[in-house]
Every structure is written in structure tokens, then in C-alpha cells.
A = this chain, B = another copy of it.
């Protein structure tokens, strides 16, 4: 038996999230079903992190143990031939036996995407949250950079979650703007904007990026100031943060490993 690292992209629209659930089909279940015929034994696919119902991935990472005589290209072809089109194994690499998709991960990058539009654009709302303009994007950016660094993120996790530590390090944050002129192929009209928040960190609490996105939206609406972010970080009180932004705007972009 050898360990393989899978890079996986999925459209999360039709799934109850990464992890197996009783109430619907998960990405993990589909991958384990696709891997089972390769191994002959019960196959467990372990992800770098769970994604919630409706969250997408361009670069989820997961490891799986399969017979050592199989090579990476064969595994990739076999998995993709059995997976539905909304889940694709983008890459397969053989890794050391002690490698672990979750515990070996050095960092993850998420994107939260808004479509600032009054009426919406159907083709762009599968992975973006439509919000009516205007939003004060300069204020949102000023707020976003305040989460960079080592912080107590308890104020940005969903209530009721119990974890050993709520301290995380965010290593970089950016808020990218696409206007109608920047990319005419998007079909944005005057006054419409696409906003991409990219957050890279060593770990994320449950709903953390979506709560950050929801809070930035409140800042953009002028309902709180950029400095309010500091207060949420200091108080660690979820009640101070904004609402959790919808799942479909969130995409797991990549997972970084020190050496694979």
C-alpha cells in the first residue's frame, strides 16, 4: 500500500459539503466510491479540511492509500472516469507514508467572491454572492488587512463550535476588484463590480472566512468602521461580527505543503 495526494476541484452546488453526511451526497463519498474498485478494501479519503454545504474547491487536497503497484496517472484516470463531471481529480502525486493531508498542511488559501449588482448575472452567481452596490471598497480593504497576523479568531467562528485553540495566523489578504472595463468578457454593466477576497492562513475555524466576508460587507455598507475588526479580534465575541456570508461565494483555492 502506498499513499497518494489528490488535488481535487469541485462545484459544491449539489453536495452537502466535503464530509460524509446522512442527509445527502458528499464529495468525500463520491471520491471513496470512485477509489474503492482500485483498492479492494474500504478506502478512506482524508481531506486537508472540510468544506461546508455548497462551498466550492479549485484546489482541495486529500490523501488516500492505494495498492503500491498503481502509478499516479493510472489512479487519476480511474478516479475521473468514475466521478461525476462536477468533481475532478486535477492531479495525483505519490507521497511519503507519514504524509497527512490535514496535519502536513502548511497553509490554505480561500477566495470569497461578491458580485456587486442590483439585478444579477445568472452565469456569474454560481460562485459569487450577489450584493447590491455601492459598497465602500476602500473601507473593506482597510478592514481586511487588519486580520493579517496571529490573532484570536473566536469572534469569527460559528457559535457552538468547540476547538482546542482559536488562535490562527493569517499570512496574507487581498481584495481584488474587476470592473466592466477590466474584463469585458464578464458582461458587467456600468456600476457592476466583481470583488475577490483572497485569504491565506495556517488554519481556519468553522465559517471563519464567511464570517470575515459577512463582516467586510457590513463595513462596505458603512454599518461599522474598519477599526471594528480589531474589536472583534480582541473581544473574541461572535455577536460583534457580521452575518455569515452565503456558502456559494466561497472557494477553497489551494492547500500548501512544505514538501511533497
Residues of A within 8 A of B (CB): 9-11, 56, 58-59, 76, 80, 85-91, 111, 119-123, 125-127, 176, 185, 187, 189, 196, 251, 253
For A122, give the chain B residue with the smallest CB separation: B11
Q: Which residues of B contact A91 (CB under 8 A)?
A: 189
Q: With A111-B185, A187-B58 as known contacts, state yes or no: A89 contacts B11, CB within 8 Å.
A: no
The 10 closest A-B pairs by CB, nearest first: A58-B187, A11-B122, A86-B122, A88-B120, A88-B119, A11-B123, A9-B121, A10-B122, A9-B122, A123-B127
Residue from the list B56, B76, B119, B253 in contact with A119, Cβ < 8 A: B76
Q: Which residues of B contact A122 (CB under 8 A)?
A: 9-11, 56, 85-88
- Is there an interface contact between A185 and B189, defined as CB atoms closer than 8 Å? no
- A119 to B91 CA separation, bound complex (whole angstroms): 9
For A59, give the chain B residue with the smallest CB separation: B187
- A119 to B85 CA separation, bound complex (whole angstroms): 10
Closest chain-B Cβ to A197's Cβ sits at a distance in Å of 11
Residue from the list B76, B80, B125 in contact with A85, Cβ < 8 A: B125
- A87 to B122 CA separation, bound complex (whole angstroms): 6
Q: Which residues of B contact A9 (CB under 8 A)?
A: 121-123, 187
- Is there an interface contact between A80 and B119, defined as CB atoms closer than 8 Å? yes
Closest chain-B Cβ to A152's Cβ sits at a distance in Å of 30
- Is there an interface contact between A58 and B121, defined as CB atoms closer than 8 Å? yes
Closest chain-B Cβ to A56's Cβ sits at a distance in Å of 6
- A231 to B88 CA separation, bound complex (whole angstroms): 40
- A76 to B118 CA separation, bound complex (whole angstroms): 11
- A85 to B122 CA separation, bound complex (whole angstroms): 7
Q: Which residues of B contact A56 (CB under 8 A)?
A: 122-123
Closest chain-B Cβ to A250's Cβ sits at a distance in Å of 12
- A120 to B80 CA separation, bound complex (whole angstroms): 10
- A239 to B122 CA separation, bound complex (whole angstroms): 36
- A86 to B123 CA separation, bound complex (whole angstroms): 8
Closest chain-B Cβ to A215's Cβ sits at a distance in Å of 22
Residue from the list B76, B89, B125, B126 in contact with A123, Cβ < 8 A: B126
